[in-house]
């Protein structure tokens, strides 16, 4: 075993492959470990090279083979330093995922709606309010993703091996089994809202309230539209009631009922948008009254816009909910 | 025919803990990294250099091995030796191993027992 650590063919003074390997590995090891680790690593590499040379290999080839076997120096350094080679490990991944889903599902919808409503109140048109709300919502999603992920990645690296984020899982944490059967409560809830909507539309025409305290009660919705839009909305509401009852009798949401639900929601939104864009949603007499008591500019328009925004969001949420229930019902169907 | 990858994975799982036990037993006679790798291999315990070297340092930091630098030779070498705690752990692990082996042998002989 007389082979030197410096293989032949290398200019004296220039770093050998071993030098480069040791340099690459130690770069990623905490400084206080280096002084002890470097001679050991060098000795191990030299010993392995010598053994190969004794078996008849050329010095250069032996060194290459030994370093190749040791593998990526950064991976070796990570094993030495007990550093994880993953962004987020099993210890924190589930907590990370739950927190992310929780925040995304609560904060994003709330902020999106609040931004939409406030910018409509600020006098923005419905289109630009929706656009702004969606843009802010999108930015928020990116930010939540980035910062929560960053926090988890840092935590993975600074936490002691025994540290845990959440208390131990117990049987008490088990979720309820979600049944896909439609409850009577869900059906009644839907029917009550349909009845309220229909009543308000008819009632504000037959028995108008004096909303502006002007002494002259007038309908809020445009009476001229009784030629088509209001009867159409009432027909849509009646259709929806029929669908709710049909779903209840069927017992579960199906893809067909989710599709019908989506179509119905789209119809509401289309009618409303048509009225809004032509500026015919509200009763002109009511708008005049409103302008007498409040800031004449835009107040009527913003009432209409807020109402439309709320309807739009409700329609989207209801449609998504329908598909979700249909998918769940499909999966759990016996 | 058994999938070679599947075999390799399960073998690795089975051997994982035994490398520690083998090191603790073998190092009652002090030795340095490469020589230990060689000795383990000649005893049928095959382990990679890039697994063994960091393992030795981890066992040292856990107080299961102690180390000394031998600077007599032209090439200074770090010799590891099993500590008292290491010997105690080795005995425990070996007892577990023996129990496991006995149980498996018994089941092998009579699968219903």
- Cα(A2)–Cα(A4) distance, integer angstroms: 6
Q: Which residue has the tokens 């950064």?
A: A74
Size of interface A-B (CB pairs under 8 A): 49
Residues A40, B33: C-beta atoms closer than 8 Å: yes
What pLDDT does residue A330 have? 56
Q: Quick check: B34 contacting A, CB < 8 Å?
A: yes
Under a CB-based contact definition with an 8 Å cutoff, are residues B32 and A43 in contact?
yes
Q: Quick check: A24 contacting B, CB < 8 Å?
A: no
Least confident of A205-214, A271-280, B97-106: A205-214
Evaluate if residue A334 carries a pLDDT over 60.
Answer: no
Residues B75, A51: C-beta atoms closer than 8 Å: no
Nearest 10 degrees: Cα torsion A149, A150, A152, A154: 160
Instruction: Tell me which residue of A256, A264, A248, A250 sits closest to A188, measured CA to CA.
Output: A248
Q: Quick check: A76 contacting B, CB < 8 Å?
A: yes
Instruction: Give the structural domain span for B50.
Output: 15-109
What pLDDT does residue A301 have? 67
Alpha-carbon distance A313 to nearest alpha carbon in chain B (angstroms)? 52
Percent of chain A past pLDDT 90, that is, above it, reads: 32
Evaluate if residue A108 carries a pLDDT over 80.
Answer: yes
- Cα(B30)–Cα(A287) distance, integer angstroms: 96
Angle, in degrees to the nearest 10, between helices A17-26 and A59-70? 20
* Radius of gyration for chain A, computed over Cα atoms and rounded to the nearest angstrom: 35
What pLDDT does residue A119 have? 83
What pLDDT does residue A299 have? 65
* Domain harbouring B78, CATH code: 1.10.10.10
pLDDT tier for residue A131 given thresholds of 50, 70 and 90: confident
Residues B78, A75: C-beta atoms closer than 8 Å: no
pLDDT tier for residue A72 given thresholds of 50, 70 and 90: very high
- Cα(A272)–Cα(A232) distance, integer angstroms: 11
Which residues in chain A are contacts of B46 at CB distance < 8 A? Answer: none
Domain membership flag for residue B1 = no
pLDDT tier for residue A10 given thresholds of 50, 70 and 90: very low
Q: What's the mean pLDDT in A295-319?
A: 76
Alpha-carbon distance B40 to nearest alpha carbon in chain A (angstroms)? 14
pLDDT tens-digit map of A197-230? 999 899 888 888 777 777 788 888 889 889 989 9
Q: What's the mean pLDDT in A284-298?
A: 71
Under a CB-based contact definition with an 8 Å cutoff, are residues B53 and A29 in contact?
no
Evaluate if residue A155 carries a pLDDT over 70.
Answer: yes
What pLDDT does residue A7 have? 45
pLDDT tens-digit map of A33-60? 888 899 999 999 999 999 999 999 999 9
- Cα(A114)–Cα(A299) distance, integer angstroms: 18
Domain membership flag for residue B90 = yes
Alpha-carbon distance B78 to nearest alpha carbon in chain A (angstroms)? 6
Query: DSSP per residue over A62-106, as a string?
Result: HHHHHHHHH--HHHHHHHHHT--SSSS-HHHHHHHHHHHHHHHHH
Q: Which residue has the tokens 């869900």?
A: A186
More confident residue, B70 or B110: B70
Percent of chain A past pLDDT 70, that is, above it, reads: 89
If you measure CA to CA, which chain B residue comes closest to A48? B34
Test the B interface: residue of A5, A51, A79 with most B CBs within 10 Å: A79
What pLDDT does residue A333 have? 46
What pLDDT does residue A44 have? 92
- Cα(B40)–Cα(A33) distance, integer angstroms: 26
Under a CB-based contact definition with an 8 Å cutoff, are residues B50 and A70 in contact?
yes
Evaluate if residue A74 carries a pLDDT over 70.
Answer: yes
Evaluate if residue A27 carries a pLDDT over 60.
Answer: yes
**What is the CA angle A69-A73-A77, rounded to 5?**
120
Domain membership flag for residue B8 = no
Which of A43, A69, A75 faces B77 most closely, judged by CB atoms?
A43
pLDDT tens-digit map of A231-259? 999 999 999 999 999 888 888 888 888 99
More confident residue, A73 or B17: A73
- Cα(A326)–Cα(A258) distance, integer angstroms: 6
Under a CB-based contact definition with an 8 Å cutoff, are residues A252 and A182 in contact?
yes
Q: Quick check: B32 contacting A, CB < 8 Å?
A: yes
- Cα(A323)–Cα(A200) distance, integer angstroms: 29
Domain membership flag for residue B7 = no
Q: What is the mean pLDDT of chain B?
A: 90
Q: What is the mean pLDDT of chain A?
A: 84
What pLDDT does residue A11 have? 53
- Cα(A31)–Cα(A154) distance, integer angstroms: 20
Residues A80, B32: C-beta atoms closer than 8 Å: no
What pLDDT does residue A295 have? 59
Q: Quick check: B41 contacting A, CB < 8 Å?
A: no
Per-domain residue ranges of chain A: 17-81, 90-170, 184-332
Evaluate if residue A118 carries a pLDDT over 80.
Answer: yes
Test the A interface: residue of B56, B59, B77, B79 with most A CBs within 10 Å: B77
pLDDT tier for residue A166 given thresholds of 50, 70 and 90: low
Query: In chain B, how many domains are there?
Result: 1
Q: Quick check: A275 contacting B, CB < 8 Å?
A: no
Domain membership flag for residue B41 = yes
- Cα(A277)–Cα(A293) distance, integer angstroms: 24
Q: Quick check: A71 contacting B, CB < 8 Å?
A: yes
Percent of chain B past pLDDT 70, that is, above it, reads: 97
Under a CB-based contact definition with an 8 Å cutoff, are residues B78 and B32 in contact?
yes
Domain membership flag for residue B80 = yes
Evaluate if residue B56 carries a pLDDT over 90.
Answer: yes
Domain membership flag for residue B5 = no
Which of A37, A48, A75 faces B34 most closely, judged by CB atoms?
A48
Q: Mapped to the 3 state alphabet, what secondary structure does A179-194 carry?
A: CCECCHHHHHHHHHHH
How many C-beta atoms surround the C-beta of residue A44 within 10 A?
22
- Residues 6+ positions from A231 with CB-CB distance below 8 Å: none
């Amino acid at each position: 075993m007389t082979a030197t650590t410096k293989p032949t063919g290398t200019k004296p003074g220039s770093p050998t492959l071993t030098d480069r390997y040791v340099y690459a590995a130690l770069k990623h090891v905490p400084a206080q470990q280096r002084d002890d680790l470097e001679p050991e690593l060098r000795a191990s590499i030299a010993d392995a090279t010598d053994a190969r040379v004794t078996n008849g290999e050329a010095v250069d080839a032996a060194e290459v083979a030994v370093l190749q076997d040791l593998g990526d120096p950064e991976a070796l350094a990570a094993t030495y330093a007990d550093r994880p080679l993953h962004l987020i490990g099993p210890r924190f991944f589930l907590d990370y995922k739950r927190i992310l889903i929780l925040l995304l599902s609560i904060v994003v919808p709330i902020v999106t709606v609040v931004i939409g409503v406030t910018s409509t109140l600020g006098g923005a048109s419905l289109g630009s309010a929706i656009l702004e709300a969606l843009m802010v919502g999108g930015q928020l999603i990116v930010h939540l993703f980035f910062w929560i992920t960053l926090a988890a990645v840092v935590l993975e690296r600074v936490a002691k091996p025994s540290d845990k984020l959440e208390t131990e899982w117990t049987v008490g944490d088990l979720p309820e089994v979600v049944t896909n059967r439609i409850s009577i409560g869900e059906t009644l809830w839907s029917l009550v809202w349909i009845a309220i909507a229909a009543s308000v539309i008819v009632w504000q025409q037959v028995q108008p309230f004096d909303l502006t305290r002007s002494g002259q009660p007038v309908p809020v919705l445009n009476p001229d539209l009784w030629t088509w839009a209001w009867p159409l909305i009432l027909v849509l509401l009646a259709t929806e009631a029929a669908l709710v009852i049909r779903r209840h009798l069927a017992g579960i949401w199906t893809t067909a009922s989710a599709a019908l639900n989506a179509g119905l929601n789209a119809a509401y939104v289309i009618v409303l948008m048509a009225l809004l864009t032509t500026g015919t949603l509200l009763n002109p007499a009511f708008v005049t009254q409103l302008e007498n008591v409040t800031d004449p500019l835009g107040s009527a328009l913003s009432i209409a816009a807020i109402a439309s925004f709320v309807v739009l969001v409700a329609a989207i949420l209801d449609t998504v909910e329908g598909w979700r229930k249909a998918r769940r019902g499909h999966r759990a169907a016996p | 025919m058994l999938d070679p990858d599947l075999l390799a994975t399960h073998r690795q799982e089975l051997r994982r803990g035994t490398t520690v036990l083998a090191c603790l037993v073998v190092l009652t006679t002090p030795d340095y990294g490469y020589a230990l790798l060689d000795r383990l291999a000649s005893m049928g315990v095959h382990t990679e250099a890039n697994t063994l070297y960091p393992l030795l340092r981890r066992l040292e930091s856990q107080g299961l091995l102690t180390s000394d630098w031998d600077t007599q030779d032209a090439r200074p070498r770090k010799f590891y030796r099993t500590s008292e705690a290491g010997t105690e752990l080795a005995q425990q692990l070996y007892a577990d191993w023996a129990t496991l082996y006995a149980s498996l042998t018994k089941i092998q002989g009579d699968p219903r027992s």
